[in-house]
Structure 1
Amino acid sequence: MRIVFMGTPNFAVASLSALKNSGFDIAGVVTAADKPAGRGQKLNESAVKKYAVENGLKVLQPLKLKDPVFIEDLKSLRADLFIVVAFRMLPEIVWNMPTKGTINLHGSLLPQYRGAAPINHVIINGEKETGVTTFFLKQEIDTGDIIFSDSIPIADDETAGSLHDKLMVLGADLLVKTVKAIETNTYNEVPQPQGGELKEAPKIFKDFCKIDWNQPSQTIYNFIRGLSPYPTAFCTLNDKGLKIFKAELETKKPDIPVGAFLTDGKTYLKFAAKDGFLKLIDLQYEGKKRMSVEEFLRGMRL
């Protein structure tokens, strides 16, 4: 069975590596075009491309997925199955091409948390469990029939970064299981449940990341964890941005206004929420590097 793999970030590399190490025939890899980045505007290659090149895999980098040249190149690979992990929305002319269909690995337990940022949103919403799901692509995003899923608990101090790494490994294993089942025709597709309350996971933009200190302290604590290390929750301090990567929850009711802070100028800096404090541990002040709160206070008079 010939496979074309489509993906871009590190999350997808684990899956591609697992498939290759399991002996599957990777006919080609589709990933994002190189983009200029940094002060020198040097072309930056995706993590998937770097892995593919290092392992001698054919790479396609279309700017437009409906480009006739790309479509012909894709057809020439004669793939039986397409696999999508952290890529882009595919047009029907692409996902409907292979004889065995196109499958996707998604970082949530579908049908919950459809969308671009499931790992962030499950933590922001205070969920206790999440997982990964493999399913066949259909026209509407993340709605296809489920093949397999696997779940893990979410720790109380979990961050989007730590959960990303756990799901990356869990997802790679589930994907290998899924492809083996498709190859041997030993699986049953299950339509996604309809009805009930569905929680979404839309793409996160900068404005979303600003902390509202009027929220309950637990809600803000989840918010900080769910956006750490990227794109990072932030507030303002002395009219400059302050990114918060890690904080601790203090349930003592504040006797200062919401959004105000307390500090001893040496070891702690904590902001008042509606019903408690958020004690900052790891942060980055605008124009400075990321540092501990102790380092920050040594160079900052508040």
Structure 2
Amino acid sequence: MSSSNLTKLRIVFMGTPEFAVASLDALVKEGCNIVAVVTAPDKPAGRGMELQQSAVKKYALQNNLTVLQPEKLKAPEFLDTLKSLQADLQICVAFRMLPEVVWNMPPMGTINLHGSLLPQYRGAAPINWAIINGEKETGVTTFKLKHEIDTGNILLQERFPISEEDTAGTVHDRMMHIGAALLVKTVKGLADGILEEKPQEVPQGTLLHHAPKIFTETCVIDARKTVTKVYNLVRGLSPYPGAFTLLDNKKLKVYKCAKQVAPHDKEPGTFHTDGKNYLHLICADGFLELLEIQLEGKKRMKVEDFLRGYRFNK
């Protein structure tokens, strides 16, 4: 494997959140020639609504990389700047959808890192949906961008297990580093001309799962379902945006819980508590033992701390 091939490649990197920083950092440390970084414009955030830089922008500035922050990806001035960089390859990690005029610009095209084993879980929230659906494994895929979202030719994949205790947060953090390593391996393979693209194939009889954006209605706990399904929903939405139910007509987010399958004669959706140590949400075939929760207007806390100060409506 020739490092000179790798350093010769002119690369434009596109990404915004912390997830993308791990990939950019891995490429920089490998000696890749990152000619520019494209990221989201600064946005007002926090109580003072001060302009906040994206995680990728902060990293790029610390490492003296050129930063581009287009409001619109089809803006002529941005496209002119992009062309002038004469990139051989573009890399997209946790960024917005690219128009064809952008992804088709470099001679080697644009590669994307996706948080699933494509063709499974195409879409905006692959980590969340894999856990919500109770998958026992997931992975990362590098692939070439084309028209339809997440459908381009696969370059490399790596799989890893999801445990019963994993949440969207723990899988995200593990995937961030596994994905960064896979991306470096992909770029090296492309630089040396030894990687073959493979079209995405759906084996006959295989059910394709999708990963659409998470909306508020996705986060509502339906306690009429099995306790395992509710437990998986909580894990798949923790720590963000959080699955929730109602307690005394207030939104109660559940971040951490344990499940217990047990026959009962109680009404699903009701709560059972001793007022001191435990709070159970009754489900169809058992109950969820709530461990970390957040009541509307309050901070996130352990259940024992919550019970110490809460009086239930009779």
How would you bin the TM-score normalised by the shorter chain?
A: over 0.9
Secondary structure of 2:180's counterpart equals helix
Residue 52, structure 1, aligned to residue 60, structure 2: yes
Secondary structure of 1:189's counterpart equals coil
In structure 2, distance between residues paired with 1:57 and 1:267: 52
TM-score w.r.t. the length of structure 2 is: 0.95
| Match in the other structure for 1:40 | 48
Q: Which moved more, 1:169-178 or 1:69-78?
A: 69-78
Superposed counterparts of 1:258-297, under 5 Å: 258-297=268-307
1:33-53: CA deviation from partner (whole Å, max 9, x where unpaired) = 111112211111111111111
One of 232, 245, 249 as aligned partner of 2:255: 245
| Aligned AA (1:124) | I
In structure 2, distance between residues paired with 1:256 and 1:203: 34
| Aligned AA (2:300) | R
How far apart are residue 252 of structure 1 and its match? 1.4
One of 61, 72, 77 as aligned partner of 2:85: 77
One of 140, 150, 153 as aligned partner of 2:158: 150
In structure 2, distance between residues paired with 1:89 and 1:109: 19
| Match in the other structure for 2:6 | none
| Aligned AA (2:249) | D
Contact 1:247 1:281 in 2 (8 A): yes
How far apart are residue 124 of structure 1 and its match? 0.2
In structure 2, distance between residues paired with 1:147 and 1:28: 23
| Aligned AA (1:186) | I
| Aligned AA (1:209) | C
In structure 2, distance between residues paired with 1:11 and 1:190: 26
| Match in the other structure for 2:221 | 211
Residue 165, structure 1, aligned to residue 185, structure 2: no
In structure 1, distance between residues paired with 2:218 and 2:264: 25
| Aligned AA (2:44) | P
Contact 1:111 1:143 in 2 (8 A): yes
How far apart are residue 254 of structure 1 and its match? 2.6
In structure 1, distance between residues paired with 2:51 and 2:225: 42
Contact 1:253 1:277 in 2 (8 A): no
1:183-218: CA deviation from partner (whole Å, max 9, x where unpaired) = 010111110003532100001011210100111100
Contact 1:283 1:292 in 2 (8 A): yes
| Match in the other structure for 1:26 | 34
Secondary structure of 2:87's counterpart equals coil
Contact 1:254 1:277 in 2 (8 A): no
Secondary structure of 1:116's counterpart equals coil
Residue 255, structure 1, aligned to residue 251, structure 2: no
In structure 1, distance between residues paired with 2:234 and 2:263: 20
Contact 1:3 1:26 in 2 (8 A): yes
TM-score w.r.t. the length of structure 1 is: 0.99
- Consecutive unaligned residues of structure 2, counting only runs of 5 or more, are 1-8
Residue 236, structure 1, aligned to residue 246, structure 2: yes
In structure 1, distance between residues paired with 2:158 and 2:233: 25
Aligned identity (percent) is 61
In structure 1, distance between residues paired with 2:129 and 2:278: 28
One of 203, 208, 220 as aligned partner of 2:230: 220
| Match in the other structure for 1:96 | 104
In structure 2, distance between residues paired with 1:165 and 1:34: 24
| Match in the other structure for 1:67 | 75
- Consecutive unaligned residues of structure 1, counting only runs of 5 or more, are none
How far apart are residue 164 of structure 1 and its match? 0.2
RMSD across aligned positions (CA): 0.8
One of 4, 27, 32 as aligned partner of 2:12: 4
